[in-house]
Every structure is written in structure tokens, then in C-alpha cells.
Chains A and B, each alone.
Chain A
Amino acid sequence: MSRWGMVIDLNRCTACQACAAACHQENNVPPSNPKVAGGDRSIRWIDILPMREDEYPHASISLVPLLCQHCERPPCIKVCPVGATFYSESEGLVGQVYSRCIGCRYCTNACPFTVRQFNWSEPAVPDSYLEGTNPDVSRRYKGVVEKCSFCSHRLIRARDEAASERRKLLPGDYIPACVEACPTDAMTFGDLDEPEAEVSKLARSKRAFRLLEDLGTEPKVYYLREGGNSK
């Protein structure tokens, strides 16, 4: 039993978007192009959310890497008519089954974080990208919803490796691509139920807050900032 979660330190994040590049490479997210982007239809599993705070003359902006929050009480799962999205009780992950999804987009509308993505057309993957396709991640097709999986395929691989070496899964064995790519170490990943894990210590620190906490969806992505959310 684990409760995988993430902490993102906004005081360290430079909004360089290396996380997004790494994520999209890892998860076979097709690159955007002017036509797709112009129609507001780019697929982004992780994106930088400009959060505006205060008004002029005290206006400031926070750049917040936004990804699926893997809520413990996910509003998206409740509304799915066919069970194409599910919550893994043993891992605390919100998953998506592309072969079940009927593309009604109820989940995308019920998600208060708007992090779910829809394939409006057949993904346009340039030939030069095909060689870099990650064989561990299924490629999506037009008409289905997709979203960040916390790189759950990496969890499967890490567990297989640990099993072949006859040992337990160690901290650091399973790290999503975005966390791995972060050049400023702003992202930390691990089991929130592990009291000694760095991620769970940081998540309980005074600087920690979560997005839209008052909706009670219990996100498992925590953000760190001086002054917490009251800044």
C-alpha cells in the first residue's frame, strides 16, 4: 500500500518547462503545432499555470506547474459513465483506460483543475518523433481522454526490477519523468504514507499548500512557498 504524491517547491521552480518537455517525451504526448495550438487543443499533461495574485499596484504572479492532482476523492471518477477512469486504492493513483473511454468529456468538465485532455483529432506525430516513441506507454488515438499518470509505467518497471533482484522497492526507484528532469530540484516524489520519506516531510511543512483545497478533493500534489498559500 502506497500513497504516491508529489511536492513542487515554487520558490525553486524557474518555470523552465523542462518537466513538460520530459513528460511529453516520456509519455508519447504528440507535439503541438500552430494549428492545434491556435484552436486551443494542444495536449499538455503538465503545464505552467500563471496564477495572478493581488491587483495593481501590488500585482504579482506565481508560475505553478500544473498536472493531474491524483485526488483521493476525484470528481472525475464519479461522473464517468463507463468506468474508463479509476482510482487505485493500493497506489493512490488516478488512471485512465483508453480502450474503455467513450469520449463524452464529462470527466474533463467535472475536474476543477481542468487537467484532463481530449484528443480532438488523430494525434499528429511527425515521422522524426516516431523513433523516440516510448514502448512502455500506449499511444492514444482520436476521441479519447488522457492525462498525467504519474508515469505509472515506471512504477511497474521499478517493481519488476526490484522483484528480479529479490528486494523491496526502495525510495528513488520510482520517479516520474518530470521530477527526474527538473534542473533545480524543485520537484520531489515519493510515498506520502512513508513518514521518513522526504516527500511526506515536505508535504507536512509549514510552506506546504494544495490547490483548491477547500473543494475537498484531497489532491496529492503539494506546493511549497514562503508563507504557504496565504502569500
Chain B
Amino acid sequence: MSSHKSMPRPTDPLGEDWALVRPIVESNPRFWIVVAALAAGIGLGITAYTHQVREGLGVTGMNRPVYWGIYIINFVFFIGISHAGTLISAILRLAAAEWRRAITRSAEVITVMVIVFGVSNVIFDLGRPDRALFVVQHGRLQSPLLWDVCSISVYLTCSSIYLYLPLIPDIAILRDQTTKLHWFYRLLALGWQGRPEQYRLLERAIGVLMVVVIPIAVSVHTVVSFVFAMTVQPMWHAAIFGPYFVVGAIFSGIAALIIAMAIIRWVYHLEGYLKRIHFNYLGMLLLVMTLLWFYFTFAEYLTTWYGSEPIHMTVWWSKITGSYAPVFWTMFACCFVIPFSILCREKTRTVAGTVIASIAINIGMWLERFVIVIPTLSNPRLPLDRGVYYPTWVEWSMLTGCFCFFILLYVLFTRFFPIVSIWEIQEGRMNARKDTLERIESYMPEVVETGRRPLAPVPEGVAT
């Protein structure tokens, strides 16, 4: 694309797009109320963790043989949510989907913020968190946990760069157009002047990253699933786990993005940017993922049931009719019944409709991870112990703390950086119509001079 020539200069007045800067420059009393509430939740989490470090993991509900609980569930869940951002944004950019412009930033922020909580949940789970760096110092590549360490660190690095690069022109706008924290924005803008060669470099870098980041994102959730699939434990040792986890991750990721967008739109009055059409399109994507999720779940459970190996069936029945049946069927309702019935009709694919579906999906996907981790552990091959797992206040508090901390980081981001990419919106306004038209023109069938006569017109009366 040669669109950078007519790029908006930082000196351009922001005009109508001032609405995107308003959350950064205008103070809002509601902000402090939200911060106080979130701080309380974080305080609860810190209290719980302090208690756990002092007393040991005995303060959780884990036991023998349920050696893993909420922390590992959260790890898989948060890493799953992280697929909201980088992956979806990369795919939309790659597909040159024009409607992406208003949503990519808010998606990318989710990724970077939430990975941190995925990783910290593994550390919460350690019996000896003080030895966490042993995985670097004494790491053994034979262990799937090391694969996670490698994959997730690359993913975090790339996602952070992928968030930062498209942020640079917007930071320059803040540097030039506002008076707030001038030194801060000047530092982060890296001397951005909006010159054509700078835009060319930026677009090239984004172009490389959006391709590179897709296999990395896929690998991340694949190796997360491998932590389970590489063992020989019943209903973990399945080849379907890699793709199943990737699909589940994108599924919960889109849902998280929809929720975040709805809140941003409501709090910052950005109805003009995050429009119903965005929710409709994301809702359609979500519908596809709902069906894929059903397909994978169906394939997994049918295969196990038809094979009917007793050791697998013990776990299978504990999910379908046994002690984990309430969790399993709630998951099924949240992940399939509710979202499918809302999303399959355009009439209900509204902002409210997609948000309800997304909330259901995120609850359902958390429960899905519960249904994957716990029943297998509580039904070991040798029935020495048949464990039951009830999380304690410590684990629930840590979950609350993580959510609050994540939301706080997100809120803080929106107070310092535009949550809708200003320059991409302006670029779209200026060039998208022309670029898209050119693209459409390029699809049009061309008349090829073959020297032959054109096809004879269809005779009248013949059904077409």
C-alpha cells in the first residue's frame, strides 16, 4: 500500500476524534471509585497469598490425588483469554478487514495484560515459589512445562511489541496535542514525526509481526494443552487437546474482547466508534467458534464413550452423571446452548445480545478448564484415593484478586493511552474508501480479447 503519503500529520487537529483522547485528559470521579473497588479486590488476593506462602498450599482445597486446582485452571483460562488480542487483531489485519480499525487496540491490550496473570497463577501454584527461577537455571527441555515457559515468553515479548508499535503514532499525537505528562509521551514516542519513511517502516514492522505472531499464538495454547496431553492419565492423554485448546482459547478470547469493548463504549461514550456492526461481526465470529467448540467437545466425548475403556469411562461418567455433572452441564449450557441461541439470529446479535453470550462463554470456558483438570485427577487409575475438590476462600480470593488486578491495569491503560487507535481511524477515514474500491475493482471479471464472439444471449423462455 502506498497510503502513507497522505498520512495525517501530528499537527493536524484531531477534530471529531478528540473523543478518543478525552478519557486521557479529562478526570473522572467515577475512575477513583472503580480504582478503590479494584484495590480492595487486589488487597483480598494479596492477603490470601500471604497466608498461603506462610502456611503452605494446605490452605487451598487441593489434596491427594487432586494435586492441581484453581490456579492451574486460571492459568489455562487466562492464557486462553490472551488469544483475544494479538491473534484476532493479527488475523483481522492480515485479512485487511476494514472494520478492525476501532477494535484492534483494545484486543491487543487484553493479551499483554492477561498473560501476566496466566503466568503468575503458575507461580501461585508452586510449593516453593522462591525457587521459580530454577526453571531457567536448571530447566529441562523434556518437560512440557519448559515448552510453556519458552512459548509464553516469546508470546509475551511479541505481543508487547505488537501492542507498542501501532501505539507510537498515537503517543506522538498525545505528545503534541496535550500537555499531560509531556516527558513521558516524548520518551515513548521515540521521535515519531509522522514522516512517510517512518510510516513505511512502521507498516513493514507491523506487517512482519502480524504474520509471526499467529504461529506463536497457536503454539502457546497448544503447549498449554500438552501439559495435560503428554501424561498418560485418562482423558488427558488425547491428541485432540492441542487444537481443542486453541479453539477454546480463541472462543473465550473473542468473548472477552466483546465484553471489554462494550464496557469501553459505555464508559467513554464511544458508541460512534465501537458500533453495533462491530458487535454483529464479532458475534458472527463467535458463532463460528461456538460451533467449532461443540464439534471438538462432541468428538472428544464420543470417541471416549465409544472406545469404552473402563479407566477412561470412570472419568467420563464422573463428568456426565457423576459428582462433576452439575459443572459439566453448566459448562455445556454456557458454552453452547446460550451463545448459540443468541448468536444464530441477526435480531439478537446486538450489543446486549453478544455481551450476554460472551459472559456466558467466559463462565463456561472457565468451567471447561475445571472439567478438564479436576475429574481426571480425582479418579486416578489405582483407586487408592478418590479425591473431591472444593476450592477454599484462599483460592477464590486469589481469583478475585487476579480479575481486579487485570481490570485495574486495563483501566489504567485507557487513562494513559487511546484505547481506540486514532491514527488508524484517521487513516481509514482518508484512504479506506479508495483502497477498498481499488481492491473491489481488482476482483471484477475482465473482458479478455480472444477474438471469439461473445457468448450467445440466453434465448427467451429458457429457465435460468
Q: Which residues of A contact B (CB under 8 A)?
A: 39-42, 47, 49-52, 66, 75, 78-83, 100-106, 108-110, 112-114, 117-122, 142-145, 211-212, 215
Whether the Cβ atoms of A81 and B143 lie closer than 8 Å is yes
Within 8 A of A (CB), among B316-350: none
Question: A82–B383 Cα gap in the complex (Å)?
Answer: 29
A114 proximity list for chain B (CB < 8 A): 64-65, 380-382, 384-385
Majority secondary structure, A binding face: loop
Q: Report B201 CB to chain A, min CB distance, Å.
A: 39
Question: A110–B65 Cα gap in the complex (Å)?
Answer: 11
A100 proximity list for chain B (CB < 8 A): 131, 134, 138
B125 at the interface (CB under 8 A from A): yes
Q: Report A121 CB to chain B, min CB distance, Å.
A: 4
Whether the Cβ atoms of B140 and A80 lie closer than 8 Å is yes
- Between A and B, 6 residue pairs with Cβ closer than 8 Å are A51-B382, A103-B127, A118-B64, A121-B57, A143-B127, A144-B128
Whether the Cβ atoms of A122 and B382 lie closer than 8 Å is no
Question: A67–B146 Cα gap in the complex (Å)?
Answer: 28
Whether the Cβ atoms of A109 and B68 lie closer than 8 Å is yes
B303 at the interface (CB under 8 A from A): no
Question: A101–B130 Cα gap in the complex (Å)?
Answer: 11
Q: What does the 1/0 interface line of B128-157 toward A look like (CB < 8 Å)?
A: 100110110011101111100100000000
Q: Which residues of B contact A (CB under 8 A)?
A: 55-58, 62-65, 67-68, 122, 125-128, 131-132, 134-135, 138-140, 142-146, 149, 227, 230-233, 377, 380-385, 387
Question: A103–B232 Cα gap in the complex (Å)?
Answer: 20
A121 proximity list for chain B (CB < 8 A): 55-58
Whether the Cβ atoms of A119 and B127 lie closer than 8 Å is yes
Q: Report B63 CB to chain A, min CB distance, Å.
A: 4
Whether the Cβ atoms of A110 and B231 lie closer than 8 Å is yes
Question: A114–B377 Cα gap in the complex (Å)?
Answer: 10
Question: A39–B385 Cα gap in the complex (Å)?
Answer: 12
Most chain B CB inside 10 Å of its own CB: which residue of A103, A109, A118 = A109
**B67 contacts which of A49, A101, A118 (Cβ < 8 Å)?**
A118
B135 proximity list for chain A (CB < 8 A): 81-82, 102
A105-B382 in contact given A120-B56, A120-B58 (Cβ < 8 Å): no
Q: Report A49 CB to chain B, min CB distance, Å.
A: 5
**A102 contacts which of B65, B127, B144, B380 (Cβ < 8 Å)?**
B127
Q: Report B72 CB to chain A, min CB distance, Å.
A: 9
Q: Report B380 CB to chain A, min CB distance, Å.
A: 4
Whether the Cβ atoms of B64 and A117 lie closer than 8 Å is yes
B122 proximity list for chain A (CB < 8 A): 104
Whether the Cβ atoms of A47 and B56 lie closer than 8 Å is no
Whether the Cβ atoms of A40 and B57 lie closer than 8 Å is no
Whether the Cβ atoms of B384 and A75 lie closer than 8 Å is no
Q: Please name the residue on chain A nearest to B62 by beta carbon.
A: A120
Most chain B CB inside 10 Å of its own CB: which residue of A39, A50, A78, A102 = A102
B146 proximity list for chain A (CB < 8 A): 81
Whether the Cβ atoms of B63 and A39 lie closer than 8 Å is yes
Q: Report A65 CB to chain B, min CB distance, Å.
A: 11
A101 proximity list for chain B (CB < 8 A): 127-128, 131
Question: A144–B63 Cα gap in the complex (Å)?
Answer: 14
Most chain A CB inside 10 Å of its own CB: which residue of B55, B67, B126, B144 = B67
